[in-house]
Amino acid sequence: MNKTLLGYVPDASFIYLVHPTIKVLFLLVVSLFPMFISAVEWNVGLMVGLMALTVASRVNMRTLKIYIPVAVSMGMIILLSYTVLGGRHPDYQVITRIFGFPLYWERIRDALVVYFRILPMILTMVFFLSTTREREIIAALRAVRTPFVVTYVLAMSMRAAGMVMEDFRIVRQAEQARGFDSKNKPLPYKIRKYVMYMVPLFALSLRRSEEFTNALVARGYSFRSKVKRPDYILSRYRFAWWDGALGVVIAALFALLLVARYRFGRFTVEDSVLLRYLHTILIPGGGA
Amino acid sequence: MSSPAIQVTDYSWKYLHSTTRAIKNIELIVQPGECLGLIGSNGSGKTTLCNSIDGLIPGQYHGIKEGRVEVFGTEVEEYRRGELQRTVGLVFSDPEAQFTAMTVEDELVFGMENLGLSISEINRRLEWVCDLADLSPLLDKPPYEISGGQKQRVALAAMLAMQPRVLILDEPTAMLDPVSRERVFAVLARLRKEREITMILIEHSLEHIIPLADRMVLLSNGRKLHEAPTRTFFSDLSLLRQEGIHLPGAVGFSGYLRESGATTDEPAISVEEAAQQARNLRGAAKGELS
């Protein structure tokens, strides 16, 4: 098992054959796909494809369960903001009225379009984080000649997040051991007393900064060094023919999507079979 | 004759905003290939002295320096930035504080990359340190997710991979359990056998430092109180006891025999030697009785 940013993936997964740069390209480009797709069924199809990739990569699907409540609550929020808080539109088609509030077809349609745009974006990110290690992000950035200092600062930021969380846990346990615990206390109290955690955490951060600087100096690192670094990490990831092929496929799909959308007017709301079907159900005999 | 690996001459250091000097008029010479054991209670100036040899002082700290600290004949301040660290490697007591990378493998190669070594040379040295410190199974793991003992072996190996001519270990096992401590010292013992490396070892557990050190130095309140070859160092234990140094059982036992006049043998510095002294005494007693 290898630890990825969101979980663990078995050593045997095909995902390790893919160069990190292609993974980052996948994230950046595929997460843009839904922006150009309004037809719900296509975004659902994209989600199915992403789920299939996640399963094929041997990601433990149980770890993804935690996103279900998030997805459901996000859907509810979007639906409520588009319908109940969506305002009055005399020219829209009314499906029904709830306590006097009109429920418009257009607002439900828009809510569905937005929701099914966001879901594949999140799923793309979840797929990327579930199958990518911190080190691969650094390797991807180095592969495209990002300056070492930039990638290093990014890497250290990722690492620092974990360290701060660990320090926070220690500080909290130490304060709990001395009888200070904000658990089960009202939120204003928690916020007020948060400074009790912040002060030692800040002091710890200062100490860590000093130690870290010393470690960098002790390892012979200098921002002004003229030594050419050999970039060992790149020697661990080699571009294979399939990486090139995958890159071309991703770029070609994106190009096709843009052409289909803007040249032939596909993937639009009007083009959506599912929305048309839903419309006929909700407003029998009504025009779209 | 070649110059000493380290020569400290009338060296004093006072941290900014501190009222007293952390190091006071220290004189010290360490020859190439020698292993020096540095002991003393907390606040005695051991870490300050080591940081001074690695150039962290005055490089990273503000204060007042007097005297000279030379590494292979050159004053540490005269080394170009990053140059001294190619010669002197420093391993800190808190391994986590010195990690600079996302995986053990990256951690081990970070210093070598800074030296500008070729990929093939990095791979060669990586193989060597992995074998030396038994780290191969850990290469893919994040360094902050392994055990304390493994962390310290990684920190040590990362420094060894840079192949410094001088290695300073500042309480490398302070945060480790006895088993992990044994493993770190086993690595150091193997290193001493395989390579001629100058070593300064700060450690509170004397039973581990004694088998490695050629010479011992006792610091107290920033001053050098006592310096001698390891065995001679333990010939007078009163000073060590006075300074609160916790003596290993074998050394204490041998010292007791010597102080009580039961033996005039040299101080024993291992369990085996102390046992031999006891056997000798028993034999002598039997001889007297018969």
Q: Give chain A's domain count.
A: 2
Three-class DSSP category at B14:
strand
Residue A150 in domain? yes
Report residue B180's pLDDT band, with 50, 70 and 90 as the boundaries: confident
Query: Which residues of B lie inside 8 Å of A (Cβ-Cβ)?
Result: 51, 54-56, 59-60, 81-82, 85-86, 89-90, 92, 94, 97-103, 105-106, 109-119, 122, 140-142, 144-145, 158-159, 162
| pTM, two decimal places | 0.77
Question: Do the beta carbons of residue B233 and residue B81 sit within 8 Å?
Answer: no
Q: What are the residue ranges spanned by the domains of chain B?
A: 6-247, 248-290
Token pair belonging to B172: 């490398």
Nearest-CA distance A286 → chain B (Å): 59
Report residue A288's pLDDT band, with 50, 70 and 90 as the boundaries: very low
Nearest 5°: phi and psi at A7? 175, -145
List CB contacts (< 8 A) between B161 and chain A. Answer: none
B76: Cβ contacts below 8 Å, ≥ 6 apart: B52, B53, B54, B55, B69, B70, B84
User: In the predicted model, is pLDDT for residue B100 greater than 50?
Assistant: yes
Q: Say what the pLDDT of residue A27 is.
A: 95
Question: Do the beta carbons of residue B214 and residue B34 sit within 8 Å?
Answer: yes
Question: Do the beta carbons of residue B157 and residue B143 sit within 8 Å?
Answer: no
In a shared domain, residues A185 and A266: no
Nearest-CA distance A233 → chain B (Å): 7
Report residue B1's pLDDT band, with 50, 70 and 90 as the boundaries: low
List CB contacts (< 8 A) between B85 and chain A. Answer: 217-220
Tell how far CA A115 is from the center of its chain.
Answer: 15
Of B54, B89, B122, the CB nearest to A230: B122
Between the CA of residue A227 and those of B60, B111, B112, what are the distances in Å? 21, 12, 11
Q: What is the mean pLDDT of residues B198-214?
A: 90
Of A2, A159, A232, the CB nearest to B122: A232
Nearest CA in chain B to A224: B81
Contact B100 A156 (CB under 8 A): yes
Of A211, A220, A224, the CB nearest to B115: A220
Q: What integer best gives the mean pLDDT of chain B?
A: 88
* Cβ atoms within 10 Å, residue B71: 25
Tell how far CA B218 is from the center of its chain.
Answer: 13
Nearest-CA distance B249 → chain A (Å): 35
Query: Which of A56-60, A89-93, A251-255 holds the top average pLDDT?
Result: A251-255
In a shared domain, residues A244 and A111: yes
Q: With pLDDT > 90 as the criterion, what percentage of chain A qualifies?
A: 41
User: In the predicted model, is pLDDT for residue A145 greater than 80?
Assistant: yes
List CB contacts (< 8 A) between A236 and chain B. Answer: 105
In a shared domain, residues A50 and A11: yes
In a shared domain, residues A63 and A114: yes
> Dihedral of CA B67/B69/B74/B75: which sign?
negative
Nearest Cα neighbor of B228 from B219, B210, B215, B209 is: B215
Residue A139 in domain? no
List CB contacts (< 8 A) between B114 and chain A. Answer: 219-222, 225, 227, 229
In a shared domain, residues A116 and A258: yes
Q: Say what the pLDDT of residue A246 is.
A: 96
In a shared domain, residues A124 and A248: yes
Q: What is the mean pLDDT of residues B68-74?
A: 93
Three-class DSSP category at B163:
coil
Residue A23 in domain? yes
Residue whose pair of structure tokens reads 């493994």 in the numeric block:
B150
pLDDT tens digit sequence for A97-130: 888 888 999 999 999 999 999 999 999 999 998 8
User: In the predicted model, is pLDDT for residue B64 greater than 50?
Assistant: yes
In a shared domain, residues A124 and A41: yes
Residue A288 in domain? no
Considering only A44-48, A98-102, A267-271, B120-124, which range has the smallest mean pLDDT?
A98-102
User: In the predicted model, is pLDDT for residue A194 greater than 80?
Assistant: no
Q: Say what the pLDDT of residue B270 is.
A: 87
User: In the predicted model, is pLDDT for residue B175 greater than 70?
Assistant: yes
Of A2, A213, A217, the CB nearest to B140: A2
Token pair belonging to A151: 């990638």
Nearest CA in chain A to B85: A220
Residue A141 in domain? no
Q: Which amino acid is at B178?
A: P
Q: What integer best gives the mean pLDDT of chain A?
A: 87
CATH superfamily of B6-247: P-loop containing nucleotide triphosphate hydrolases (3.40.50.300)
Q: A288: buried, middle or exposed (CB in 10 Å: 19+, 13-18, 0-12)?
A: middle
Q: What is the mean pLDDT of residues A129-150?
A: 88
Of A3, A210, A222, the CB nearest to B81: A222
Considering only A77-81, A100-104, B204-208, B260-264, which range has the smallest mean pLDDT?
B260-264
Tell me how many residue pairs between chain A and chain B have CB atoms under 8 A apart: 108
In a shared domain, residues A156 and A271: no
Nearest CA in chain A to B80: A225
Q: Say what the pLDDT of residue A164 is.
A: 79
Nearest-CA distance A136 → chain B (Å): 10
Residue A137 in domain? no
Q: With pLDDT > 90 as the criterion, what percentage of chain B qualifies?
A: 37
Q: Say what the pLDDT of residue B290 is.
A: 66
Peptide bond before residue A284 is cis, with ω within 30 degrees of 0? no
In a shared domain, residues A46 and A188: no
| Of B191 and A259, the one with more pLDDT | A259
Q: Say what the pLDDT of residue A287 is.
A: 52
Q: What is the mean pLDDT of residues B74-88?
A: 86
User: In the predicted model, is pLDDT for residue A205 greater than 80?
Assistant: yes
Nearest Cα neighbor of B38 from B166, B218, B222, B241 is: B218
Q: What is the mean pLDDT of residues A267-277?
A: 91
pLDDT tens digit sequence for B218-257: 999 999 999 999 999 988 888 888 888 888 888 888 888 8
Q: Say what the pLDDT of residue B217 is.
A: 95
| Of B149 and B5, the one with more pLDDT | B5
In a shared domain, residues A219 and A248: no
Nearest-CA distance A239 → chain B (Å): 17
User: In the predicted model, is pLDDT for residue A285 greater than 80?
Assistant: no
Q: What is the mean pLDDT of residues A177-198?
A: 75
Residue A214 in domain? yes
The full DSSP string for A126-147 is HHHHHH--HHHHHHHHHHTT--
Could you tell me the residue range of the domain that residue A35 belongs to?
A: 2-132+240-282
Pick from B102, B122, B144, B170 the residue to mutate for testing the A interface (most A CBs within 10 Å): B102
List CB contacts (< 8 A) between B97 and chain A. Answer: 208, 211-212, 214-215
Q: Say what the pLDDT of residue B289 is.
A: 66
Q: How far apart are CA A217 and CA A14, in angstroms?
A: 39
In a shared domain, residues A23 and A114: yes
In a shared domain, residues A229 and A109: no
Report residue A37's pLDDT band, with 50, 70 and 90 as the boundaries: very high
| Of A193 and B21, the one with more pLDDT | B21
- Which alpha helices (H) appear in chain A, and where do they start and end? 20-30, 40-56, 67-82, 105-131, 134-143, 148-177, 187-193, 195-218, 232-235, 241-262, 273-282
> Dihedral of CA B41/B47/B53/B58: which sign?
negative
Nearest 5°: phi and psi at A37? -120, 120
Contact B106 A220 (CB under 8 A): no
Of A134, A214, A220, the CB nearest to B114: A220
